[in-house]
Chains A and B, each alone.
Chain A
Amino acid sequence: EVQLVESGGGLVQPGGSLRLSCAASGFTFSSYWMHWVRQAPGKGLLWVSRINSDGSSTSYADSVKGRFTISRDNAKNTLYLQMNSLRAEDTAVYYCARGYGAPGGFDYWGQGTLVTVSS
């Protein structure tokens, strides 16, 4: 069974940093692109970032470029999102999702982890 479990969310002050993790199991993690998608409270879905299967290629939404860094450790079956210079508008539930091909969508999502940026 494919499982994606996010962790690392919490309350952080504006300008602060946080690192999210996504632990994957039930599939060959190193074979798949992975993505982060976020959802602000009461809002829709917004794609944040993606990384290819070996970690050699990454992409970001304009709103997080230069502040967020996606990475992965295929030996640990874990995806990461390092978030720096956080702003109030980054407040959201952050989901990791498995890529379903490239190009392609997402087939499995984690349960999400809430990041709140507030003083």
Chain B
Amino acid sequence: DIVMTQSPLSLSVTPGQPASISCKSSQSLLHSDGKTYLYWYLQKPGQSPQLLIYEVSSRFSGVPDRFSGSGSGTDFTLKISRVEAEDVGVYYCMQGIHLPRTFGQGTKVEIK
């Protein structure tokens, strides 16, 4: 199984400041079709996960442009350019190239 490792596991951010979460996979997520199957999800308190970023860097419908994803192969980053109060929750990366789908441990983001 592909192991997904996130860091840090928790983050306390002042509103308006940037935040960055790292995700590393134990195998390359680059598929022979040329796409890289790395996803980012946010689970807000008491809610189900919601898709933020698909295929490394594409924002899902309705996701604010303060969220951006980057990376390649096995190293990926989610950046929030200016954190807002509504961004609190747990962020998960997930690989979508092989079964079983596997998630990172989650990064809890809170507001200072």
Interface residues, chain A, CB within 8 Å of chain B?
A: 35, 37, 44-47, 50, 59, 61-62, 95, 100-101, 103-112
A46-B103, A47-B103, A100-B96 given as contacts; is B49 within 8 A of A105 (CB)? no
Interface residues on chain B, size class: 20 to 34
Jot down 26 A-B pairs with beta carbons below 8 A, ordered by A. Answer: A37-B101, A44-B92, A44-B104, A44-B105, A45-B94, A45-B103, A45-B106, A46-B103, A50-B99, A61-B100, A103-B31, A103-B98, A104-B37, A104-B96, A105-B39, A105-B54, A105-B94, A105-B96, A106-B94, A108-B51, A109-B48, A109-B49, A109-B50, A110-B48, A111-B47, A112-B48
| A62-B39 Cα distance, complex, nearest whole Å | 23
Q: How far is it, in angstroms, between the C-alpha of A82 and the C-alpha of B20 when the chains are bound? A: 40
What's the dominant secondary structure at chain B's contact region?
loop
Chain A: which residue is nearest B60 at the CB level?
A: A107
Chain B residues with a Cβ under 8 A of chain A: 31, 37, 39, 41, 43, 47-51, 54, 60, 92, 94, 96-106
Contact B100 A47, beta carbon cutoff 8 Å: yes
When C-beta atoms are compared, the residue in chain B nearest to A93 turns out to be B48
Which residues of A lie under 8 Å from residue B101 when comparing CB positions? Answer: 35, 37, 47, 50, 105
- CB A93 to nearest CB in B, in angstroms, measures 8
Complex CA–CA separation, A105 to B92 (angstroms):
12
Alpha-carbon gap, A106 to B98, bound state (A) = 13
- By beta carbon, the residue of chain A nearest B50 is A109
Complex alpha-carbon distance, A104 and B31, angstroms: 10
Q: Is the CB of A44 within 8 A of B106?
A: yes
In the complex, which residues of chain A have a beta carbon less than 8 angstroms from the beta carbon of B96? 100-101, 103-105
Complex Cα–Cα for A33 and B55 (A): 17
Residues of B within 8 A of A105 (CB): 37, 39, 51, 54, 94, 96, 101
- The residues of B that contact A35 with a CB separation of less than 8 Å are 101
Q: A45 near B49 (CB under 8 angstroms)? A: yes
Q: Which residue of A lies closest to B98 (CB)?
A: A103
Most central of B48, B49, B105 by chain A CB within 10 Å: B48
Complex contact B54–A59 (CB within 8 A)? no
> Which chain A residue lies CB-closest to B97?
A103
